Amino acid sequence: MNSINYFNSIAKDWNKIRVDYFKDELREIAVNSVDIKEKVIADLGAGTGFISLRVGEEANLVFPIDSSKNMLKELHKSAKDKNLNNIYPIKGSLEDLPLFDNSVDIIFMNMALHHVTNPDVAIKEMNRVLKKDGQLVITDVEKHSGEWASKEMYDVWLGFKHDQLESWYKEAGFINIDVKSTGLIARGESSEGEVIEPKIFIAKATK
């Protein structure tokens, strides 16, 4: 099994699983860090819509992008239930975004970067699709030692250091880079009961 198959297999239960991993407060920290009103927004690694369904209430258009078709199906159902007609899920790779150059005002990426093989490539892609002065907001876990997450949750990266993010942002051409802790933790538990509680960061930048 790979990460796509893993997330396809748990899509129907993800909203329940996710609550034990990270809290709703994280969404509000991310969303409230920028002005989303009447903007065109991309939500990368969107899953079942943790970010998309919230920003869809105020944004003009929302493009949730994920490699898991089952996750996007769940997102689409939820959007219909909420009568949100401005959300357009797209199946695609985060290292080769299915979006035009200079087409998006804001990009959110929550708890997905650690599943990307080449984060530096993905961040360059984010710069490509953002409009001038567009904003990037990534929330994810800081570096941790829970190696079981690679086998059980198909994590490619065991979190990130702040200077690592800053370096990738600079290489991609971003400015006004700000990486800091949210004060929140992500709790994960292995099948053998090993618990990790890494801190969660928010990494913002402007194109």
pLDDT at 7: 67
pLDDT at 10: 56
Can you name the residues that pair with 109 across neighbouring β-strands? Answer: 44, 138
pLDDT confidence of 184, banded at 50, 70, 90? very high
Residue 182 has pLDDT above 90, yes or no: yes
As a whole number of angstroms, the distance between CA 148 and CA 190 comes to 7
Kindly list the distances between the CA atom of residue 168 and the CA atoms of 22, 120, 175, in Å, as whole numbers in the listed order: 25, 5, 11
Residue 13 has pLDDT above 80, yes or no: no
Residue 16 has pLDDT above 60, yes or no: no
- Mean pLDDT is lowest, of 20-24, 82-86, 179-183, 196-200, for 20-24
As a whole number of angstroms, the distance between CA 21 and CA 18 comes to 5
What is the separation, in whole angstroms, between the first and last Cα of the chain? 36
As a whole number of angstroms, the distance between CA 188 and CA 197 comes to 6
Average confidence score pLDDT of the chain:
92
* Structure confidence by residue, pLDDT tens digits, 129-174: 999 999 999 999 999 988 988 887 878 999 999 999 999 999 999 9
* Structure confidence by residue, pLDDT tens digits, 90-128: 999 999 999 999 999 999 999 999 999 999 999 999 999
**Average of pLDDT values for 185-193?**
87
**Average of pLDDT values for 65-74?**
93
pLDDT confidence of 63, banded at 50, 70, 90? very high
